[in-house]
A and B are shown apart, each in its own frame.
Chain A
Amino acid sequence: MTATGITTPRPAPTSGIAVPSARRFLLWTGIVVLLIWVLLPIYFVALGAFGGRLGVFRWPKSIWPTDVSVAPMMQFLGIEGVFSALINSLIAAGLTVLFSVLLGAPAGYALARYAFRGQTAFRLMVLLTRAFPLAILALPLTVSFIRFGLYDTPFGVSLIHTVLALPFAVLVTQSLFMGIPREYEEAAWVFGCTRLQAFMKVVLPLALPGLAATAIFAFVISWNEVFAASILTVRERTLTAYLLKVLSESPLHYRFAGGFILIIPSVLFIFAVRRYLFAVWGIASK
């Protein structure tokens, strides 16, 4: 189902009135402008991250990478709290991945394979979450999290991030499992599998790439979340919470270094799941 994701809307050769060269030039100019528009800020923040204090205040700036080195980045990572914030972010994102896949995939499977009473209500509840600014729900949780010892832990943060990622995981895995013909499973049952065996031997191997994409989406959702993470942590901050906290008092080149570190994994992940992006959103936006 997903393999077609990125390639389909190519115009059929028959439908194309050949684009005249002047218009073709215009088209590519527009595309290049768009590409620069997307890439330039990333490039600049990278320059800022590796340019250090001197780079930030250089005036006027050159757009070429002059006196860039890894030292400023190392310096940033050496600041007290940065490294542990990085670790906390990774833990929170990892747990979010775990929870949203473990909770979401079974629900997605149930929606894909069974017709049951309450199905519509459940689907509605999942969709309803979309109409709410979910991160803001972290506000009242501060009190109960303090009571249960979840406050100021990556675990607590991951719980809220799972609320963000779970509806997504449910819808994506639902479409994923719907794309795996039920007959595969039935064949496995007929040839001697229990339901669990059929799932493990037949469905899971076929669903694995899609599940990996789901996991990556969950990771990115958690990794990028600022509001709830800032509300629910004080000492054990995630990277976003840390950066937000020190925003006003830290020098610019540290901010850029932090921004750069935030951007990199996301870019790589989006690259990893690019084939799934459209299949996923085509479905999740229904």
Chain B
Amino acid sequence: MADIVIDRVAKSFGDFQALKEVSLSVGDGEFVALLGPSGCGKTTLLRIIAGLETQSSGRVVIGGRDVSGLAPRERGLAMVFQNYAVFPHMTVFENIAFGLRMQKVGQVEVKRQVDRAAALLHIDQYLDRYPAKLSGGQRQRVAVARALAVQPAVLLMDEPLSNLDALLRLEMRTELKAVLREAGTTTIYVTHDQTEAMGLADRIAVMYGGRIDQIGTPLEVYATPATRFVGGFIGNPPMNFIKVKASGGQIRVGSASLPAPVRDAEIDLGLRGEDAALSADGSGIPFDVRVVEPMGSHLLLTGAIEGQLARIVTPPTARVQAGERVGLTVDPSRLTWIDAATGRAIART
């Protein structure tokens, strides 16, 4: 077991800055997800931690040991790859045993650890098979078992579920969470799928453009996004942003008036679709409904507030027609205010 400190790690490929001085601390036994769109630098950061890529500057410290210059094999970690990277010329048993064999672990112990890891992932009946005879989900289990068999201090996972179909992904996600909690391994998990990150991680680091925009628990990054990007990236539908003008510490939208955190400035009002409610009498923020999509558990309304696109979630029983203008009431404490110039959230007063 070990903690990880990433200290001002930067990486450039030629002129392109993939990572801009990223710092991150992961506690012993903690599960941190690196979440962001493709090209945000999350995979690069993971590969630097693994030692598959060398940072341009900065340090990586694992368990108090500076591993920045060490080869991957000297870092005492394990990794699960996006395409599994289960060796096709070895049986499932030999795949899981691979790391142990490299550590020259005795035959009896190898068998014990492989059996343990295989049982954990329910692949004990496939140990003699070759990976070509396994389904994608089973191969993924082999990849995870191979990583857990070495009882690593640190486990790195690079989009491990992205090649599975939706149903299998859900199933594996649940199972991964149970297995990893039991193992108690410090884990860094790269994904572009917010539901995966929310469901699995203790903390989420949301990355964008080579930076970490926000680090926090799933609830924190959801409820109080630190930047416009985080608000827009997390949540389904994404957070709505309405350009408004504050004057005298107040903003006015239609007939509604709300307290603003600044006195006089252009700011963006960030509003989660489910944080607005339809007012009974049509008062409040005016919302022009254009499309109504019944989603079963809720209604998804797409329309405009003051001519700006917005999506609102209402209970499935709400009676709303496309083309209607409705009024929305909001809880001021659940609003996010974004500085229009910097894109960062304004601290609440």
Q: CB atoms of A and B under 8 A apart anywhere in the complex?
A: yes
Q: Which A residues are within 8 Å of any B CB, using their own CB? A: 181, 183-184, 186-194, 197, 202, 205-206
B71, B81, B89, B103: the one contacting A187 at CB < 8 Å is: B81
Q: Give the number of chain B interface residues (Cβ < 8 Å).
A: 24
B86 to A: closest C-beta gap in Å: 8
Please, which residue of chain B has its CB at the minimum distance from the CB of A187?
Answer: B85
- Whether B89 and A206, one on each chain, are in contact in the complex, defined by CB atoms closer than 8 angstroms, is yes
Contact A191/B150 with A186-B52, A186-B72 known, Cβ cut-off 8 Å: yes
Closest to A198 in B: B73
The interface residues of chain A lying within 8 Å CB-to-CB of B85 are: 181, 183-184, 186-187
What is the CA–CA distance of A187 and B51 in the complex, to the nearest angstrom? Answer: 11
Per the 8 Å Cβ criterion, residues 59-100 of B in contact with A are 71-73, 77-79, 81-85, 87-89, 98-99
Which A residues lie within 8 Å of B341 (CB)?
none
| Residue in B83, B89, B99 whose beta carbon sits within 8 Å of that of A191 in the complex | B99
The 8 closest A-B pairs by CB, nearest first: A192-B102, A191-B99, A183-B85, A187-B85, A189-B72, A192-B73, A190-B79, A183-B81
In B100-158, the 8 Å CB interface with A consists of 102-103, 146, 150, 156
Cross-chain contact A206 with B103 (CB below 8 angstroms) = no
B50 on interface, CB distance cutoff 8 Å: yes
Contact A187 B79 (CB under 8 A): yes
CB–CB A183/B83 < 8 A:
yes
- With most chain A CB atoms within 10 A of its CB, the pick from B73, B88, B89, B150 is B73
User: Which residues from chain A contact B146 at a C-beta distance below 8 Å?
Assistant: 187, 191
State whether A189 touches B73 (Cβ < 8 A): yes
Q: Is the CB of A184 within 8 A of B87?
A: yes
Is B73 within 8 A of A191, CB to CB?
yes
Q: Which secondary structure characterizes the binding site on chain A?
A: helix
Q: Are A190 and B98 in contact (CB under 8 A)?
A: no
Q: Which of chain A's residues have a CB closer than 8 A to the CB of B79?
A: 186-187, 190
- Considering the chains assembled together, what is the distance between the CA atoms of A186 and B77 in angstroms? 12
Using A205-B89, A206-B88 as known contacts, say yes or no to A190 and B77 having CB atoms under 8 A apart.
yes
Q: Are B87 and A190 in contact (CB under 8 A)?
A: no
New A-B contacts (7) at CB < 8 Å, excluding given A186-B79, A191-B73: A183-B84, A187-B81, A188-B98, A189-B72, A190-B73, A190-B79, A192-B150
| Closest B residue to A185 using CB positions | B85
Question: What does DSSP make chain B's interface, helix, strand, loop or mixed?
Answer: mixed
Query: For B83, what are the chain A residues with a Cβ–Cβ distance below 8 Å?
Result: 181, 183
Complex Cα gap A194–B84 (Å): 20
Q: Contacts of A202 on B, CB cut-off 8 Å?
A: 87, 89
Interface residues of B in 5-52 (CB under 8 A from A): 50-52
User: Please, which residue of chain A has its CB at the minimum distance from the CB of B52?
Assistant: A186
Q: Which residues of A contact B51 (CB under 8 A)?
A: 189-190
Q: Which residues of A contact B71 (CB under 8 A)?
A: 189, 194
| Residues of A close to B99: CB separation below 8 A | 191-192
Q: How far is the CB of A211 from chain B (nearest CB, A)?
A: 14
Residue of B nearest to A195 (CB): B71
Q: A206 to B52: give the CA distance in the assembly, Å.
A: 21
Contact A186–B81 (Cβ < 8 Å): yes
In contact, A191 and B78 (Cβ under 8 angstroms): yes
A146 to chain B, nearest CB (A): 48
* Nearest chain B CB to A117 CB, angstrom units: 12
B78 contacts across to A, CB distance below 8 A: 190-191
Taken residue by residue from 186 to 212, chain B's Cβ proximity to chain A (1 for < 8 Å, 0 otherwise) reads as: 000000000000000000000000000
User: Known interface pairs A191-B98, A206-B88. Does A183 touch B73 (Cβ–Cβ under 8 Å)?
Assistant: no
CB of A192, distance to nearest CB on chain B (Å):
3
A190 lies within 8 A of B89 (CB): no
Complex Cα–Cα for A106 and B58 (A): 33
Judge whether B50 and A190 touch: CB under 8 Å.
yes
Once the chains are docked, how many angstroms separate the CA of A202 from the CA of B85? Answer: 11
Known: A202-B87, A206-B88, A206-B89. A190 touches B72 (CB 8 A): yes
Bound form: Cα–Cα A197–B73 in Å = 11
Min CB gap B148→A, angstroms: 12
- Which chain A positions have C-beta within 8 A of B84? 183
Complex Cα spacing A202 to B83, Å? 16
Residue of B with least CB distance to A183: B85
When the two chains form their complex, are residues B73 and A194 in contact, meaning their CB atoms are under 8 A apart? Answer: yes
Residues on A with C-beta less than 8 A from B52 are 186, 189-190
Residues of A within 8 A of B150 (CB): 191-192
Scoring B residues 152 to 187 as 1 if CB is less than 8 Å from chain A, else 0, what string do you get? Answer: 000010000000000000000000000000000000
What chain B residues lie within 8 Å of A183 (beta carbons)?
A: 81-85
**A–B pairs, 12, beta carbons within 8 Å:** A181-B85, A184-B87, A186-B85, A189-B71, A190-B50, A190-B52, A190-B73, A191-B73, A193-B73, A194-B71, A205-B89, A206-B89
| Distance in angstroms between the alpha carbons of A194 and B83 in the assembled complex | 21
Alpha-carbon distance between A189 and B84 when the two chains are bound, in angstroms? 14
Chain B residues lying within 8 Å of A191, measured Cβ to Cβ, are 73, 78, 98-99, 102, 146, 150
A205 to B52, CA, bound (A): 22
B189 shortest CB reach to chain A, Å: 15
**In the complex, what distance in Å separates the CA atom of A192 from the CA atom of B51?**
12
Return the chain A residue nearest B73 by Cβ.
A192
Contacts of A186 in B (CB 8 A): 50, 52, 72, 79, 81, 85
CB-defined contacts of B77 to chain A, threshold 8 Å: 190
